[in-house]
Structures are given as structure tokens and as C-alpha cells.
């Protein structure tokens, strides 16, 4: 490429020969059919080389924008390159909502679904769990359409970009709803240990933010759904934590203007479920991220294991986050067949120190069969990852059938899949 292209964080410089931005599905089909090696870029919010290629890097952001709401079916069909923040407002205006959103509305719908990205909530599945159907361009340039119930569907949603270039997704909708968001500070670890499920079930969506430096959780973000009784106040104290006296950023000391409204001010789901506003850049991007999923019943023990090694990870940590994700049946989803709690780490931009910290985290979580997030940094080896997924072999067979020449594979995919 004439100009270096990096991911959002700047820690990955793509090695592609060309960056292609087709403006029609037909152009994309011709491009894929004529390419020997191709990968979809998304919005560049992955922190490893999962989107990289030595051939053609393709962005679907310039494809014709589609936001097609089917009121009778309760679905919306959207073009793959759309960011969530570009179509959720239209859903709300039409009286609909997605069941959940990630912390950033800036990410593309296809990239988020392909990597198993999620929000929080004990009853809320990952963003990919809302996918009812999808269309993608295959290795031969043909269009493939799959819907829930098709034999290959469960292996084709969280597919890491390895089956084709997704052009459209159809997502399940629910009736629109409002959310009140509060932040509590200083939740004692003992209260969390004694009632992990109680804490994580305290609202529609719950996020715990910790720097792993003390015996208290720095912040608890509670996103409560407004019921028929209307908005309600929050107590000043909750399980030993204090209600914040104003807006907060997840990273203590950072200005909160980029964050979604707090202090219990009710608002539509798409303006409260993310942590950050679409119109603001949440940070400089100068950071690294990792995340690991454990079974929900193991969450308290996993928390204790991380607490034991906190002095070895805190020095290079900007902030940690703990969220819950409901189980799904998607083969490569980190929440496949188990209700999960995800331990997220936002690191300082020090690759050597972070690599060492990842080893500490992964050793601490190994007894709990922790599954790493596909789009973030991890050092867990291929054989270990293989043992974490019941359908790993089935996915390899599906990938071989759909792309026998390996057109959509890159170094990371080849390392982890036969």
C-alpha cells in the first residue's frame, strides 16, 4: 500500500498489498473472485492481526447503506460496514431496539459479530446472538445466504472473517426501551465475593471497573431498564458502595464528556447501553486490550485468582472491566454453551510489559478454561484454544469446505486452525 494503514490502537500496521474500498456488491464479488488473498477490515477495533493479510484488505464501508426494518418479522437488515451508532437511532425512532450494545457505538456491525463482541447483562447474549441471517461473498465471488436453522449457520456468524466477506446481516429486534444509568464507587471486594450473582444481576446491564490495586471495585456502572412504573431514584449506598456525585469516566481522572449520560437521567437504550457517545472519541486509541471469558459459576473464583496476582498486572493496566454474557450456540463464540463472565483489560501501550502480564493473567485463569476474545491480545497457544471449544473441529471442516484454497486465511487464522 502507498500509505501505511493501522488499526485503531496503532499497534498493528497492516501488511496488505492494497486497501480496496468497493462501492457496490458486484464490485466486491469481482474483487474477491480475482484475489488470491483477501480479508475484511471492519472499523479496525481489533488489537491483534486478525484482520491482516498479505493480499487485499477490503473495507465494506462504501457499500450502499441498508437499514431495512421489517416490522412484521421484528428484524432489521443492515449493510455490514455500518457502525452501530449509524443505525440504532433509526431503530429507536421506529419503536424498536437491539437487545444490547457494546461499550463503543463506533464499531462495525459485521466486525463485532464476527469476533463475538458483546455488552453486558446476565440475560443478554453477545451482539452476534441477535443475528438471524447473513449474506457473504464466498471465495468464488458468489453470494451465500444463510439463516438461523441452516446447518452451517451456527458456524458462520462468529467466523473471524474466514468464510467470506459479509455484506448484510439481519438482526432480531425488541420493542424500544429507556435506560437509567448510575455509577457507584468503592464496592468492597468482600461484597462482590459473597454476592457475585447479585451484583451482576442488579441491573439490565452491569459493568465493574477496577484497576486491581485495592480491595474495592473502583466503579460499578448500573444500567437499569425503565419499567412501567417509570423512572426511579437510586439509593445513596448500595452493598457498601457510594453513589457518585457526578458523571464519571471509566478511567479515574479522565474527563467524562465522552461518556453516555449518568446520574439516573432516563434516556433511550442506544444512548445509555454504550459507555461512550458516538460523537466523541472515547480515547486516543493509544492502548492495548485483552479479554477472557470464564463460566459464570467460576467467576468469583476467577476474580480471586486475578486478585492474587494483581501486583503483577496493575503496573501496566489502565483499567479493567468485568461484564456478564449469556450463553449462545454459535460455534466460535466465547460464550458458546455457557453463561459467562468476561474479564477485560485495557493496558498501557507497552507491548513487552503487556505480553508478560498476559502470561500472568492466562496462568491465573487457566483452571477456569478461560476463552480469549478473538479480536484482542492473547498468548494462549493453539492447542489450548482448541480444547476450549466443543465445535472447533466442525469449524475447521466448514472453513475447508467454504474456502479450500485458504483465500480468507491469514497468519493468525493458519496458526489457530488446521
Question: Which CATH number fits the domain that encloses residue 212?
Answer: 3.30.70.2520
Counting the structural domains of the chain, the total is 2
The Cα 266–Cα 277 span in angstroms is 15
Enclosing H/E stretch for 207: strand 205-210
Asked if residue 249 is part of any domain, the answer here is yes
pLDDT at position 1: 67
User: Do residues 187 and 134 share a domain?
Assistant: no
User: Do residues 135 and 187 share a domain?
Assistant: no
pLDDT at position 2: 66
User: Do residues 306 and 188 share a domain?
Assistant: yes
pLDDT tens-place string over residues 221-242: 999 999 989 999 999 999 999 9
Asked if residue 8 is part of any domain, the answer here is no
Cα within 13 Å of Cα(169), Cβ side: 29
What CATH number has the domain bearing residue 115?
3.30.465.10
User: Do residues 206 and 258 share a domain?
Assistant: yes
User: Do residues 223 and 193 share a domain?
Assistant: yes
User: Do residues 243 and 304 share a domain?
Assistant: yes
User: Do residues 136 and 115 share a domain?
Assistant: yes
pLDDT at position 4: 84
Which range of residues forms the domain containing residue 350? 178-381
User: Do residues 133 and 232 share a domain?
Assistant: no
Asked if residue 221 is part of any domain, the answer here is yes
Asked if residue 23 is part of any domain, the answer here is no
Asked if residue 28 is part of any domain, the answer here is no
Residue-by-residue DSSP string for 123-183: T---GGGGEEEEEEE-TTS-EEEEETTSTTHHHHSS-TT-S-EEEEEEEE-EE--EEEEEE
Residue that terminates a domain, selected from 176, 198, 217: 176
Cell of 36: 488470491
Cell of 383: 492447542
Asked if residue 52 is part of any domain, the answer here is no
Cell of 168: 448484510
User: Do residues 376 and 253 share a domain?
Assistant: yes
Residue that terminates a domain, selected from 127, 142, 176: 176
Q: pLDDT tens digits, the chain, 418 residues: what are they? A: 667 899 999 999 999 999 999 999 999 999 999 999 999 999 999 999 999 999 999 999 999 999 999 999 999 999 999 999 999 999 999 999 999 999 999 999 999 999 999 999 999 999 999 999 999 999 999 999 999 999 999 999 999 999 999 999 999 999 999 999 999 999 999 999 999 999 999 999 999 999 999 999 999 999 999 998 999 999 999 999 999 999 999 998 899 999 999 999 999 999 999 999 998 876 556 899 999 999 999 999 999 999 999 999 999 999 999 999 999 999 999 999 999 999 999 999 999 999 999 999 999 999 999 999 999 999 999 999 999 999 999 999 999 999 999 999 999 999 999 8
Other beta carbons within 10 Å of 247: 16
pLDDT at position 3: 76
Residue that terminates a domain, selected from 118, 145, 176: 176
Say whether 408 sits in a helix, a strand or coil.
Answer: coil
Asked if residue 404 is part of any domain, the answer here is no
Question: How far is the CA of 62 from the CAs of 231, 280, 281, in angstroms?
Answer: 40, 22, 21
Cell of 266: 432516563
The Cα 351–Cα 375 span in angstroms is 16
Asked if residue 201 is part of any domain, the answer here is yes
User: Do residues 260 and 170 share a domain?
Assistant: no
The answer to whether the beta carbons of residues 293 and 325 sit under 8 Å apart is yes
User: Do residues 225 and 283 share a domain?
Assistant: yes
User: Do residues 125 and 225 share a domain?
Assistant: no
What count of residues does the chain have? 418
Amino acid at each position: 500500500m502507498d500509505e501505511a494503514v493501522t488499526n485503531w490502537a496503532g499497534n498493528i500496521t497492516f501488511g496488505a498489498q492494497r486497501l480496496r474500498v468497493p462501492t457496490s456488491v458486484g464490485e466486491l464479488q469481482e474483487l474477491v473472485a480475482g484475489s488470491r488473498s483477501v480479508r475484511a477490515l471492519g472499523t479496525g477495533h481489533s488489537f491483534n492481526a486478525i484482520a491482516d493479510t498479505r493480499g487485499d484488505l477490503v473495507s465494506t464501508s462504501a457499500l450502499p447503506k441498508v437499514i431495512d426494518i421489517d416490522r412484521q418479522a421484528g428484524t432489521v437488515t443492515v449493510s455490514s460496514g455500518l457502525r452501530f451508532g449509524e443505525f440504532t437511532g433509526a431503530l429507536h425512532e421506529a419503536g424498536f431496539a437491539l437487545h444490547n450494545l457494546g461499550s463503543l457505538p463506533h464499531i462495525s456491525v459485521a466486525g463485532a459479530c464476527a469476533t463475538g463482541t458483546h455488552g453486558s447483562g446476565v440475560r443478554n447474549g453477545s451482539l452476534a446472538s441477535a443475528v438471524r441471517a447473513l449474506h457473504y461473498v464466498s471465495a468464488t465471488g458468489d453470494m451465500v445466504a444463510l439463516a438461523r436453522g441452516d446447518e452451517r449457520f451456527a458456524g458462520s456468524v462468529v467466523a473471524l472473517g474466514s468464510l467470506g466477506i459479509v455484506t448484510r446481516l439481519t438482526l432480531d429486534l425488541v420493542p424500544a426501551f429507556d435506560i437509567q444509568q448510575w455509577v457507584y464507587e468503592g464496592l468492597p471486594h468482600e461484597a462482590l465475593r459473597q454476592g457475585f450473582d447479585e451484583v451482576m444481576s442488579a441491573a439490565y446491564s452491569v459493568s465493574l471497573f477496577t484497576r486491581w490495586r485495592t480491595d474495592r471495585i473502583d466503579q460499578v456502572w448500573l444500567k437499569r431498564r425503565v419499567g412501567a412504573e417509570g423512572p426511579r431514584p437510586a439509593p445513596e449506598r448500595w452493598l457498601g458502595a457510594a453513589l457518585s456525585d457526578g458523571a464519571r469516566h471509566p478511567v479515574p481522572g479522565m474527563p467524562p464528556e465522552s461518556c453516555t449520560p449518568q446520574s439516573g437521567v432516563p434516556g433511550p437504550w442506544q444512548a445509555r447501553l454504550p459507555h461512550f457517545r458516538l460523537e466523541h472519541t472515547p480515547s486516543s486509541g493509544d492502548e492495548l486490550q485483552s479479554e477472557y471469558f470464564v463460566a459464570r459459576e467460576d467467576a468469583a473464583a476467577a476474580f480471586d485468582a486475578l486478585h492474587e496476582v494483581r501486583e503483577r498486572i496493575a503496573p501496566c493496566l489502565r483499567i479493567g472491566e468485568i461484564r456478564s454474557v449469556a450463553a449462545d450456540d454459535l460455534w466460535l463464540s466465547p460464550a458458546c454453551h455457557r453463561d459467562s463472565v468476561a474479564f477485560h483489560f485495557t493496558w498501557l501501550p507497552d507491548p513487552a510489559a503487556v505480553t508478560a502480564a498476559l502470561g500472568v493473567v492466562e496462568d491465573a485463569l487457566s483452571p477456569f478454561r478461560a476463552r480469549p476474545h478473538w479480536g484482542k491480545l492473547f498468548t494462549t497457544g493453539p492447542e489450548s484454544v482448541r480444547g476450549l471449544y466443543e465445535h472447533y473441529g466442525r469449524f475447521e471442516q466448514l472453513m475447508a469446505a467454504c474456502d479450500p484454497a485458504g483465500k480468507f486465511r491469514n497468519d493468525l487464522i493458519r496458526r489457530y486452525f488446521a
